[in-house]
Amino acid sequence: MTEPLPQGTVIGILGGGQLGRMLSVAASRLGFRTHIFEPGANPPAGDVAHRVTTASYEDAEALRAFAETVDVITYEFENIPTSALDLLETLRPIRPDRRALAVSQDRLVEKAFLTDLGLQTAPYAAVDDAEDLAEALAEVGTPAILKTRRFGYDGKGQAVLRTPEDATEGLAAMAGAPAILEGFVNFTKEISVIGARGLDGSVACFDPGENVHREGILRTTTVPAQISDAQRTDAVLIAAQILNKLDYVGVMGVELFVTPTALIVNEIAPRVHNSGHWTQGGCAIDQFEQHIRAIVGWPLGDGARQSDVEMENLIGADMERLPALTRQPRTQIHLYGKTEVKPGRKMGHVNRIL
Amino acid sequence: MTEPLPQGTVIGILGGGQLGRMLSVAASRLGFRTHIFEPGANPPAGDVAHRVTTASYEDAEALRAFAETVDVITYEFENIPTSALDLLETLRPIRPDRRALAVSQDRLVEKAFLTDLGLQTAPYAAVDDAEDLAEALAEVGTPAILKTRRFGYDGKGQAVLRTPEDATEGLAAMAGAPAILEGFVNFTKEISVIGARGLDGSVACFDPGENVHREGILRTTTVPAQISDAQRTDAVLIAAQILNKLDYVGVMGVELFVTPTALIVNEIAPRVHNSGHWTQGGCAIDQFEQHIRAIVGWPLGDGARQSDVEMENLIGADMERLPALTRQPRTQIHLYGKTEVKPGRKMGHVNRIL
């Protein structure tokens, strides 16, 4: 596929949240249509999609019908049930493919993959039961974080163990799910690299952004990150190494802890990433369009940073600040159309052009 | 209305072409939904709208049902049949309102409006029949352009009269429709100002762009326009004067001829305008979002030019250049999803960040 796909080509997107919504908008800019598959009714992405299927990931009929209307399938989240992927990949190309999902759906597999690549991660150990946890605590030490191996996001399915005495309560929070104990990394800051790899194998990364989290949820990303030139180069090389190893196609988010002596890979997300939203205000081609370009076989676009940007998430009651935000200069507002405000819910974000 | 409308508010858009499409995307950025009303099947805007009604502007039932699902109505083209407007305006606010449409739907009314404001236009005269045309030619001289008073766009419904001998053929081209003869203006360049006026009466204009037309169709707009500071100021003041006189709400395109001694108003368009597409690549807030902000009662956004831009329309066979365009740095591609390429058809545009 070296010629751009024709106008009207349909891109199937699994997941109808804000990432699917912004992917859909980016697809439209390039003349493509989208078909959203989402179990929940009235998904945010449905407002800007050509078509929406509301069905469960267990509904093989619906999955098949969905696949038959699209030319290529992508997704906005990594926790897609295996059975759905098994079916879909027999019908249409899924980009990024199963390799990326296998690695990112399981924190233990992810850590092993990164370690095999020679990259540094937090110290970790597998935890299936109380005995494992005792051993893991002896090896990793405290404080540490116990996390379910699968299906975690935004701090959910996690328990902080400040001392070994927190073990029992922490394990209970896993509700029997296979888990991983991760040692704390004493980092000075957290950055992320949004990388992209095209169908032709070319790689392009956006400038690393500097992230601030609160209560496990990303609050701000600022570019450029305040890191050394060597760290900037290393961060991009790490992302490129991961992308190439997976024969990846699409955009990936790579979160890194910065310590005085190393860059430590926290986690990878095989999709557009909240910490890449700044690209909408800072680059000619943003992460959403970059992803669409990659999965349809276009050349990767020019993601060079043209402005410094601070991205701030609007979470829950932050929406009360909206009237004031609408009056701020150099401020791009992105809202997701969610009618119900809940604590911790991502309602939108703003990009401040610095 | 001083509080932003709630998330999920529905904006009705009359017309489903590329302007409606890009308005719909801008509405989604601010958390709003759109409902497109368009007689033609599979309109470009339908790919990114929450809902589409396919019906004629003569279908009162369909118009009523459409209006009942939306909170405010706007449009992407000025030639909306009067009967449709008569019905719709009893049901929901139409922004911009009838005053703007009355002026812009009729070239003769438009010229009289501008002249009354003290603005300069091309010399003109009304032409209903051969006798009028003879008088008009005596007054205006040749070369001149005979245009239907209503329903013209992109050079359609126009005839150039190089000498008085072209009168008969020119009049035939009007097919009996009321017309206007406009004298040629010996201009050095054509510019346009994309102005906006909020519900609160505030006015903001984007930087004037310099336009190049070929065969009656806009080819490129470049910002900044190569004009003097005084001309830049005057151009913006002219747009503001028009917006205020009409108590206008929304974005308007004002096309101006630049001569060594004056700025001459060519025409006004009560909507987002092709010559304002550069704002997508050059401003924090583009013309589409500015229009949405205005019609829902948000404060106008920051439209200051942050980059120099050349916008180029992709017309008909220009689409053959797409593979090369996808490889150009600093180039944003916007395609409209039209599957059939026709000569003269606007298929998309590119914004080159200079």
Q: Tens digits of per-residue pLDDT, B301-325? A: 999 999 999 999 999 999 999 999 9
Question: What is the predicted pLDDT for the residue at B279?
Answer: 98
The CATH classification of domain B123-183, taken from the options 3.40.50.300, 3.40.50.970, 3.30.365.10, 3.30.1490.20: 3.30.1490.20
From CA A160, how far away is CA A156, in angstroms rounded?
11
**Percent of residues, chain A, with pLDDT higher than 90:** 93
Region B181-197 average pLDDT: 96
From CA A197, how far away is CA A168, in angstroms rounded?
43
- The number of residues in chain A equals 354
CA distance A246 to chain B (A): 24
Residue for token pair 């510019």: B191
* B48/A28 CB distance under 8 A: yes
pLDDT tens-place string over residues B24-68: 999 999 999 999 999 999 999 999 999 999 999 999 999 999 999
Give the closest residue to A223 by CA, choosing from A236, A212, A208.
A208
From CA A34, how far away is CA B354, in angstroms rounded?
31
Does the bond joining B270 to the residue before it have cis omega, within 30 degrees of 0?
A: no
Q: How confident is the model at residue A215 (pLDDT cuts 50, 70, 90)?
A: confident
**CB neighbours of residue B105 within 10 Å:** 20
* B7/A323 CB distance under 8 A: no
CATH topology of domain B189-353: D-amino Acid Aminotransferase; Chain A, domain 1 (3.30.470)
Region B217-226 average pLDDT: 97
Region A220-228 average pLDDT: 98
pLDDT tens-place string over residues B5-24: 788 899 999 999 999 999 99
Question: What is the predicted pLDDT for the residue at A153?
Answer: 58
Q: Comparing B245 with A158, which gets the higher pLDDT?
A: B245
Region A35-58 average pLDDT: 97
Q: Is A285 on the interface with B (CB under 8 A)?
A: yes
Q: Which residues contact A146 (CB under 8 A, 6 or more apart)?
A: A127, A133, A158, A159, A160, A161, A170, A171, A173, A174, A179, A180, A181, A182
From CA A225, how far away is CA A207, in angstroms rounded?
8
pLDDT tens-place string over residues B260-306: 999 999 999 999 999 999 999 999 999 999 999 999 999 999 999 99
Question: What is the predicted pLDDT for the residue at A62?
Answer: 98
Residue for token pair 């990594």: A78
Q: Is B3 on the interface with A (CB under 8 A)?
A: yes
Question: What is the predicted pLDDT for the residue at A216?
Answer: 84
From CA B130, how far away is CA B168, in angstroms rounded?
8
B97, pLDDT greater than 90: yes
Angle, in degrees to the nearest 10, between helices B287-296 and B18-29: 70
Residue in B closest to A4 by C-alpha: B323
Q: What is the mean pLDDT of chain B?
A: 95
In CATH terms, is domain A10-94 a member of 3.20.20.100?
A: no
Is A101 in a helix, a strand, or coil? helix
* A25/B25 CB distance under 8 A: yes
Does the bond joining B224 to the residue before it have cis omega, within 30 degrees of 0?
A: yes
Q: How confident is the model at residue A1 (pLDDT cuts 50, 70, 90)?
A: very low
Domain spans in chain B, listed from the N-terminal domain onward: 10-94, 123-183, 189-353
pLDDT tens-place string over residues A288-341: 999 999 999 999 999 999 999 999 999 999 999 999 999 999 999 999 999 899
Region B330-335 average pLDDT: 97
B112, pLDDT greater than 50: yes
Residue for token pair 């992460």: A287
End-to-end CA distance of chain A: 39
* A293/B323 CB distance under 8 A: no
From CA B231, how far away is CA B223, in angstroms rounded?
14
Residue in B closest to A331 by C-alpha: B284
Give the closest residue to A207 by CA, choosing from A319, A315, A118, A287.
A287
Half-sphere exposure of B15 (CA within 13 A, CB side): 16
